[in-house]
Amino acid sequence: MSSYKYLFGAANKIEQLFPPPEFADPSLNFHDYTDVIKHYTTNSLKADGISDIQKIEVTRPDGNYYILLESSGEQAVLEQFGNRHATIFSKEYAQKAIRGMDLLKELNVWNPMENYHVNGSPTDGTSKWHLFPSLGLNVMNQKGILLLHYPPWAVVQLGTFENAITFRRWEQLLSCAGISSNESSFYKTFMEVSPIAAPGSGESEYPNDYFPIMMASGFFDGGPDRDYIKSMLELFLNPPYWPEERKYTLPLLICGSPLYDPQSPGWFRTAYPNILPQDKNGVPQVNVMQTGTFKVFPHSQRATPYLISNHMIAAGVTGKCTNDPSQIPDIRQYEAQDMVSTTFLKIYSENPDISPQDARAQACQRWFGNPEGTGAPMPKDENDQLTLCALAQMDLFFEPNPPRPKYTFEEAFQRCKTATSPGDPCCGNIKPGDI
């Protein structure tokens, strides 16, 4: 039996990074912060594929939290996980979000709608904010990072991202790209430019958008005491297993389409304008499927390959059948772009030193039928054509309560295969309505 006990952090800091127990659904049976920390630690161990844990114990004997792990596996794995876990939540990394929160409070802009409803969700309730820095996700075995806007309040209530619509659709995209279920958790490391759990989750996105780009830039990307976003990116993009000789870090998807939740690419543009391509007017560009490399900090050892991507649920929220499948919001364009993003990560897992331009070209060749990713998607493989169609059917036909696709992937695939125009979700007897 292997055993490892480590100092997790000072209670007065850790308790600002983890939601209080009363915020969670009663079914989780949280009584105090030790229960909360144990729960999210368990989720992180699972996400990292560490399945031989026999015991997890969280204690607070002296104003600090300690975590004890016991396992039938290797001692070195426990130590690597524990040390990395403590590092993530240290003053050099996640605790920098506290300074951003403190500054928001000093300026009286923390949760401006406190005690009021900001959407129609019966579960979100009145507006509540709490810091939420990638809790319960991979600690050390990630294979790519996804940069998003902010975590929805439902994640706090359920204690997991697994049931979030974004997470479920991303799981389906990973499967369609050929990533097996026992590997998929390594591609689910989300980071947010505003690390604050709050109501939203798509119900009424922009009328109630209290996390604009300037919030990320002003409060979580400042001086050394509050450069939360860049510090966390640098840490997660360079996992402990990453060989020194690698040319690049892990790849980064910067997720947010121009029609839905564009704040993550917006922050990227304000943070790195000098490395981005410009239009004819000199405006730095962050267009979907744009790719390249950047260094998180000027002193970073390696460059990071990036790809600008849609938000994972943009297709379901704003996608529709139109007369122009070469442009969003056409659902066919959305699905092909999303599969390019997913395949981009898979290509990097197989060839980590490939240039981002070559990785993107390979992914575009598969899902668009050309290396530029332009025009209406025309995959060469019939199965890939049907896959794009099935994903579109899942996004076009959606049940509201609880939110879920009307069809499973298998059902949608069969609809596409037997349609009067096989492989086209917007034609024949499977279209959602008149174009």
Task: List, for residues 12-66, the tens digit of each pLDDT value.
Answer: 999 999 999 999 999 999 999 999 999 999 999 999 999 999 999 999 999 999 9
- Helix, strand, coil percentages, rounded to 5, for the chain: 40, 15, 45
- pLDDT value at 204 more than 50: no
**pLDDT the model gives residue 205:** 53
| Candidate CATH numbers 3.30.70, 3.40.50, 3.30.420, 1.10.3470; the one for domain 1-90 | 3.30.70
The CB-side HSE value for 22 (13 A sphere, CA atoms) comes to 1
CATH superfamily, region 92-380? Uracil-DNA glycosylase-like domain (3.40.470.10)
- Looking at residues 306-327, what average pLDDT do you find? 95
CB-based contact 152:128 (threshold 8 Å): no
**pTM for this one?**
0.96
Query: What is the number of other CB atoms lying within 10 angstroms of the CB of residue 400?
Result: 6
**How far apart, in whole angstroms, are the C-alpha atoms of residue 191 and residue 173?**
18
Residues in a beta bridge with 138: none
**pLDDT the model gives residue 171:** 95
**How far apart, in whole angstroms, are the C-alpha atoms of residue 336 and residue 330?**
10
**Which one-letter DSSP state was computed for residue 133?**
-
Give the confidence band of 125 by pLDDT, cuts at 50, 70, 90.
confident
**How far apart, in whole angstroms, are the C-alpha atoms of residue 53 and residue 1?**
10
**Exposure string over 221-257, b if 16+ CB within 10 A, otherwise e:** bbeeebbbbbbbbbbbbbbeeeeeeeebbbbbbbbbb
**pLDDT the model gives residue 258:** 86
**pLDDT the model gives residue 203:** 44
**pLDDT the model gives residue 435:** 43
219-249 pLDDT, tens per residue?
Answer: 999 989 999 999 999 999 999 999 989 999 9
**Length reported for the chain:** 435
Is the peptide bond between 402 and the residue preceding it cis, with omega within 30 degrees of 0? Answer: yes
The set of residues, in sequence order, having a beta carbon less than 8 Å from that of 205 and lying 6+ positions away, is: 260, 261, 317
Domain parsing of the chain, residue ranges: 1-90, 92-380
**How far apart, in whole angstroms, are the C-alpha atoms of residue 205 and residue 203?**
6
Decide whether 1-90 matches 92-380 in CATH topology. Answer: no
